[in-house]
Amino acid sequence: MSSLNAISPAAGVHGDAAHDENLLAFIRERAAARQVTVVQRKRLSGGAIQENWLLELRIDGGPWAGTQRWVLRSDAASALPASLGRAEEFAVLSVVHRAGVKVPRPLWLCRDVGVIGRAFFLMDMVGGVAAGHLLSGKCPTDGDPHLAAELGANLARLHRLRPPCAVLDFLPAPSATPALAAIAAYREFLDQHERAHPVLEWGLRWCELNAPRESDICLLHRDYRTGNYLAGEGGLQAVLDWEFTGWGDAREDIGWFTARCWRFARPDLEAGGIGRLDDFLRGYREVSTLHIDREQLDYWQVMATLRWAVIALQQAQRHLSGEEPSLELALTGRLLPELELEILRLTTGAAR
């Protein structure tokens, strides 16, 4: 994984060395090992909502004997309301891994906050590059058709999971009209926000008037985009960050992946800034029979931009409230004018 920031091994996962022994005892028990030693520990870049730590361990005895590179994923200091807890995210990861979706293999969940101060789970460390500006910046003129098709096929495998699913019974029941349900939630948030946002209100009304009458309900990642997957020389390695998973219209994930806000250095490459839309949809259709036309895609790109605008406002609130002072969160809130411009472009028929 790219951009690792080293910290002192004595600092503890969350800065408390007293938690180290608890963590090692937990791993020793789960791995049926005689001894577990930390070789190195690094905080992984990103993680505005969750924290991810690389643990390189030397394990003596048991089925995991040898050197292991695992990722510990825990809550950040605060979370967005729509974010799943670590136990729920671990359950999702387990289900989609069994379904053949490319994700890090989940290992063990710990609900006991006494171990490191927060609930967490462990999963395999997967190599590759995740940073959106790096993946999009190195793309050839016509993008990477192989990676785009892989991402499409991987998303389609996820979308084959349909309700009901007993293992995921903690997820809210799917709405018969997912778009209208989302619009209502965004409008409720804006109604309570301290400032007026007329462009967002315009976008919500446009989406309300143009909402699809029928939806293909399936399991969604809800943050499937460049920046949330790892890619290497062999192509797609794993999709990360499953804390927003829920039931919804399959086209929502497609709109989110292709929205301009997630194309980074290559806004001309509609498939996440790394490939052409045709290549992404070709991969998707190798697995799924779902059809999405240009008009539908435009609609769900507007919905994606509205959702990101609401999240940006929520992130800014986390900073401004003093709950979690952060330059990253503050800068996220400054994205709003760019997102408003894109909403106006899409809803008024302006050139893409």
User: DSSP 3-state assignment of 202?
Assistant: helix
pLDDT at 10: 36
Joined together, the tokens standing for residue 313 give 């406002």
pLDDT higher than threshold 80 for residue 180? yes
Residue-wise pLDDT tens digits, 267-279: 999 999 999 999 9
C-alpha span between 312 and 261 (Å, rounded): 12
Terminal-residue alpha carbon distance, the chain: 33
Residue-wise pLDDT tens digits, 110-119: 999 999 999 9
Residue-wise pLDDT tens digits, 185-205: 999 999 999 899 999 999 999
Cα separations (Å) of 10 from 29, 51, 93? 22, 18, 30
C-alpha span between 120 and 109 (Å, rounded): 6
Place of tokens 């009901």: 164
Joined together, the tokens standing for residue 342 give 């894109």
State the architecture of 132-347 in CATH terms.
Alpha-Beta Complex (3.90)
Residues 6+ positions from 242 with CB-CB distance below 8 Å: 84, 89, 92, 93, 96, 103, 221
pLDDT higher than threshold 80 for residue 47? no
AA letter at 53: W
Pairing mode, strands 35-44 and 50-60:
antiparallel
Nearest to 224 by CA among 285, 290, 305, 154: 154
pLDDT higher than threshold 90 for residue 219? yes
pLDDT higher than threshold 50 for residue 325? yes
Q: Please state which of the ranges 10-24, 109-123, 245-259 shows the lowest mean pLDDT.
A: 10-24
Joined together, the tokens standing for residue 136 give 């999009």
Place of tokens 């969750």: 50
pLDDT higher than threshold 50 for residue 91? yes
Question: Using an 8 Å Cβ cutoff, are 206 and 183 in contact?
Answer: no
pLDDT band at 323 (very low <50, low <70, confident <90, very high): confident
Give domain limits for the chain.
Answer: 4-124, 132-347
pLDDT at 317: 83
AA letter at 84: L
Nearest to 107 by CA among 126, 129, 81: 126
Nearest to 231 by CA among 241, 240, 243, 218: 240
Place of tokens 């946002």: 197
pLDDT higher than threshold 50 for residue 4? no
Strands (E), 19-87: 35-44, 50-60, 66-75
Measured from the Cβ of residue 7, the count of other Cβ atoms closer than 10 Å reads: 15
Residues 255-260: what's their mean pLDDT? 98
| Most distant CA atoms of the chain, gap in Å | 65
- Does domain 4-124 fall under CATH 3.30.200.20? My reply is yes
Q: Give the helix ranges, DSSP H, for 18-105.
A: 18-30, 86-98
pLDDT higher than threshold 90 for residue 61? yes
